[in-house]
Chains A and B, each alone.
Chain A
Amino acid sequence: MAWVWASLRKYPALMLLVAVYLAACVVVAANAYRGTGGVPGAHQTKVLRLAHWQLEPGIREAVDQLIADYHRLHPDVEVRQILIPEEGYFQWVNTQLIGRTAPDMIECGQGGPVGWALWPKFYARYFLPLDRYVDEPNPYNKGTPLESASWRKTYFDEMEGGYEESLQSYYRTPLSTFTVRLYYNKALIEEVWGPGFPRTYEDFIQLCKKLVQYGKDNNKRLVPIAGSGYNFRQFFDAYRTAFTADYMNRLDVDYNGAVSRIESASPLYSGRVKLTEPPIRANFELVRELSEYFPQGYTSLDRDEAVFLFLQGNAAMISTGSWDYQSLGVQSEFPIAVTAIPLPSKNNPRYGRYVAGPDTEAGLEGGFAVGITKNSRYPDVALDFLQYASSLRKNEELNKAMFWLPVIKDAEPREELKPFAPRIEGYSASIEYEGPGAELAYAQLSVEYLSGKVGYEDFVTEFMKAFHRELPAGVRETIRNNDQTLNQEMRFAGVRRAALTAAPGAAAAMSGDSPTQYKRIMEAYVAQLGARDSDIRDWMDNVNASAQDAH
């Protein structure tokens, strides 16, 4: 060794270079070792982040309890919640995903119409598909009646709330479900109306009148219903379904059990269906009548303002979802009860003959749905945590603590939430008044009608002018969007076909069984082709009928 040192000492600069070089080699090797799960960092806590927008009282604490229970089972895992206000949630998620700084788990599906269009793209690019796991049992159901059921089958909706139809894959783990009901100030209603709550629309209007009088008599600022554009929409939709359920027989020309936007708009365009027809007119007139009992200018109020009005005792009722049950209960200083939105009785001389029934909740799907991001360092741990949260016992505990409805079969909700149990009997909406492209005109003109600025005939005249002007472009746009969905389906069929022809890499790139998935995708594709062709034929038939009428 002495001769080596003797040789090297003549080259101090070279020695320095060699020393730096060797140090660099050590750093590279250590990093590589750590990256493969070796000793450095192996005993560190695995930190997972879960982002959601559920800021209602009690939710954070309930999720924290779930996390603490999971941590007891897995001391090396720590889950942290990131709570983002609803208003900025979608933009925040968008930025985090694009910047590749997204948390491990993200609550999905928020953002209004823009969000609805973009979430499928996010799933495809940034989220982990769950297909390979959903048909395996949830290990945390061991020892329960759901022990041998696949994870998907343990859900009340067979995990439909986690399935992304446009991508033909599961991406989300739903943890709760929600229904909408009419909440009321029980003490006030009993004082004004007596025990019980009106069961018919007629009695409901009488109650509203009494509440107005009660406010005047007591010199109190009281509106019967706390309304905003958001809450009012729930009333409007309930009555739209009740009055127009029978339109399915006229409008569903392809018999698939649903009225598409074009099937709904085309006969309105040609005049084969008119907004002046008695059931439709009755629908609008009823909601106009009801809007008298909402606060003035309610369409420009937001959801929080409506909730505030109710909690202050300045409104006797509010229509909102089961997600608000706990927050309203905690914040109100009066007892709260819930009921369904009352419909006109069959004996109602003005509306009774048009009412089919309530809107159904049979197609309800799971919500509070969480996806796992692909850039998560621990996707397997995130999956394990979500399986824990969606196991029979833990999902029941979690939802009891949150005052929400569980999503797992046999999981019991809290006793007081039983009025929120999904209503199976009832119908789905069968007509949509705002046609493709005419949404803005509808929003502006319907507000003018509902606020009493214009009468029904004037509303119809003005709206139909806009409808005729905007619809042709709107229909073409809808068909273009449909073509993009078809293209996407062919893209998925392409990789499955590649896998079926043993193209190296294709099978390994996808989860699920390729022959079944290929068959499923092709079925969805031809169904979409059929709907497109039928929509276009229906549209053109109505355009031609409209042209003939003009002649």
Chain B
Amino acid sequence: MKAWAPLLLIPLLGAALASGCGGRSEAGSLEALLTRGWQAYSTGDFDYAVRCFQQVDNAQTATAEQTYSALLGLATTYHLETNPDFPKAREYYGRLGALDSDTARMQSAVGLARIDVAAGNAADGRARLTALIRDSPDSMEADEATIHLADAYFAPRTDESVTGGFRLPTQGSIQRGLETLEGRLASHPHNPLSSSMHMMLANKYIETKAFDKAVSHLLAADKEGIAAARLRSEAIWRVARIAEEQLKDYDLAEQYYARYVKEFDRTTLYYRALKSLERVRALKDGRRTSAEETGGA
């Protein structure tokens, strides 16, 4: 009996293999777990994402890359879930930063800085972002850090003690934000986020009514290539409107209204652009006639 009893295990193993329990290596399972974790993270299934990432983090056989992915997943999930858990996010960003990898350290720095800013420690957050941009100037993380640093300077703060409920940034703070973006664009003019940086500058110049600078950054963003069609149409509309209303540059306004009409005929602003094009052409004709009359006189 004892001699053949282990034979009973054969069908069990066969069934188990058939049902897929042992069909993949553990490395493959960890990879699949990470994929499921990132999927769950992106679809907002945060508890499941954490479970997947933690299993990989606990696995003895996880590679350095897999551990990086798991720690990044855990940190960003705790950071960006609907009800963020900042202490846990800090803990995992901390562990991420301790890995022997420049990418991991930079991802950790961006995450910790954003938590600092969100938690009200704007100065600490700005210092981390500034250090990252200074120490790793050619990294993609430095591009994103530039945007977060500028936002940390630009963003109004909720303040219940103020009538209206918000405290606007000081002029000095706005200036530092503008310098951050302009500095990055001067050193890395065609970085992958350059269109976003130009758009951010344009937004702030419109807000502070420096319309000529706003238009030049909108034109630069367009030149760099705005990936989202809606934002591209918005940029072209803004150039035309500001050129007409604020700069009285009717040539530029005509050029951009005409472009809007040509490229975006299925948007709610199409007819306005068409009418505006007629208007600026009439204004240009009026100017020309007036100049001719003055010249003739």
Contacts and interface: CB of A to CB of B under 8 A. Distances in A.
B279 to A, nearest CB: 12
A526 B147 contact: yes
Given A25-B14, A363-B266, A540 B168 contact: yes
A32 interface: yes
Interface in B222-272: 226-231, 234, 237-238, 241-242, 245, 265-272
Contacts of B33: 505
A534 B238 CA distance: 14
Interface in A109-126: 121, 124-125
Nearest to B236: A257
Nearest to A374: B43
B180 interface: no
A142 B94 CA distance: 54
Interface stretch (B62-70, B125-133, B282-290): B62-70
B76 A498 contact: yes
B270 A362 contact: yes
A498 B15 CA distance: 38
A339 B181 CA distance: 53
B18 A29 contact: yes
A530 B42 contact: no
A157 B270 CA distance: 14
Given A497-B107, A506-B38, A520-B228, A25 B15 contact: yes
Contact of B206 (A254, A427, A504): A254
B140 interface: yes
Given A255-B238, A540-B164, A424 B265 contact: yes
B151 A501 contact: no
B296 interface: no
A273 interface: no
Contacts of B69: 498, 503-506
A355 to B, nearest CB: 14
A500 interface: yes
A503 B147 contact: no
Contact of B144 (A256, A357, A491, A522): A522
A435 B207 CA distance: 22
B271 A533 contact: no
Contacts of A509: 35-39, 41-42
A362 B271 contact: yes
B220 interface: no
B163 to A, nearest CB: 6
A428 interface: yes
A28 B18 contact: yes
B3 to A, nearest CB: 10
A218 B173 CA distance: 75
A13 to B, nearest CB: 13
A278 B274 CA distance: 27
Tell me whether chain A's interface is mostly helix, strand or loop, or mixed.
helix
Nearest to B203: A530
Contacts of B164: 472, 539-540, 543-544
Interface stretch (A190-198, A309-317, A318-326, A511-519): A511-519
B199 A527 contact: yes
A71 interface: no
Interface in B122-167: 140, 144, 147, 151, 154-156, 158, 163-166
B204 interface: yes
A500 B11 contact: no
A524 interface: yes
A21 B13 CA distance: 12
Tell me whether chain B's interface is mostly helix, strand or loop, or mixed.
helix
Classify chain B: how many residues form its interface, as a range.
35 or more
A53 interface: no
Interface in A418-454: 424-428
B127 to A, nearest CB: 20
A525 interface: yes
Most chain B beta-carbon neighbours within 10 Å: one of A24, A494, A502, A506 = A494
A519 B163 contact: no
A6 interface: no
Contacts of A101: none
A77 interface: no
A256 B238 contact: yes
A530 to B, nearest CB: 3
A520 B237 contact: no
A307 interface: no
A530 B150 CA distance: 11
Given A125-B44, A495-B42, A526-B147, A508 B35 contact: yes
B147 A491 contact: no
B158 A476 contact: yes
Contacts of B238: 255-257
A501 B107 contact: yes
A520 B41 contact: no
Contacts of A424: 265, 270-271
Contacts of B196: 519, 522-523, 525-526
Contacts of B36: 505, 509
Interface string B48-90: 0000000000000001011011001100100010000000000
A515 B65 contact: no
Contacts of A498: 38, 69, 72-73, 76
A547 interface: yes
B195 A519 contact: yes
A504 B228 contact: no
A156 B144 CA distance: 35
A425 B76 contact: no
A124 B81 CA distance: 13
B43 A125 contact: yes
A299 B195 CA distance: 48
A527 B166 contact: no
A212 interface: no
Nearest to B32: A505
A533 B154 contact: yes
19 contacts: A29-B14, A29-B15, A125-B45, A158-B229, A248-B272, A249-B245, A362-B266, A363-B268, A475-B165, A494-B80, A504-B66, A504-B69, A518-B192, A525-B147, A527-B203, A529-B151, A530-B199, A536-B168, A544-B164
Given A476-B165, A523-B196, A526-B147, 5 more contacts: A255-B241, A255-B242, A505-B33, A523-B228, A544-B164
